[in-house]
Amino acid sequence: MEQFLFYLEFGFTHILDIAGYDHMLFLLALCALYRFEDWKRVLILVTAFTIGHSVTLAAAALNIIQISSELIEFLIAFTIFLTAVFNLTLARNEELTPQQVQINYAMALIFGFIHGMGFSNQFKALIGQEESIVPILFPFNVGIELGQILFVIGIMLVGGFLVERLKLPFKYWKFGLSILAGLLALKMMIERIPW
């Protein structure tokens, strides 16, 4: 139980570590299109991302896949940028269509694959010579999921306050978050060009 709690806390703090702000920036962009009452859709988004993240984290830790860390860091920034661009194309719409929601779920899963590779080297060091990665991977990813949910709830509460209480038009909220995420991602992409 002590090991489970250790890795649970490690996953939780990993996601909320300001040094890894690219992860939080991706979550910010990912949930920019949703209101607080859309919490079920946001939970699916976050879980899809965690599943993708977990699969490639495990595969990279087991040396099933290997991609240069420089390329992965660039691709992580690129996923944030693409998510922001996707949002901006939809920012004028009041509500997402069912097809747009499904596309967003798929993006979260696919981009989770890329983000999972970003932490793989640190995760390899963490697991060391363990025979099975499951006792580490499972609580670590539960911690990640809980940290992401906490972060997203915070974003959505701020958005709800601004939109419902201060009467900020929701499209400005969506547009503002997406522009912020896109510009920061563009800066990261320029800094991380792998060639």
How high is the mean pLDDT of the chain? 90
pLDDT band at 91 (very low <50, low <70, confident <90, very high): low
Higher pLDDT, 151 or 119: 151
The answer for residues whose C-beta is within 8 angstroms of residue 4's C-beta and 6 or more apart is 135, 139
pLDDT band at 42 (very low <50, low <70, confident <90, very high): very high
Query: Is the model's pLDDT at 131 over the cut of 80?
Result: no
What is the rounded CA–CA span in Å between residue 96 and residue 57?
A: 31
pTM of the model: 0.91
Expressed in angstroms, the distance from the first to the final Cα of the chain is: 45
pLDDT band at 192 (very low <50, low <70, confident <90, very high): very high
Domains in the chain (CATH in brackets) are: 2-9+19-191 (1.20.1250)
pLDDT band at 109 (very low <50, low <70, confident <90, very high): very high
Least confident among 12-26, 71-85, 142-156, 162-176: 12-26
The angle formed by the CA atoms of residues 150, 155 and 156, to the nearest 5 degrees, is 95
Average pLDDT score over residue span 53-81: 90
What is the rounded CA–CA span in Å between residue 141 and residue 79?
A: 20
Report the half-sphere exposure of 87 (CA within 13 A, side-chain side): 29
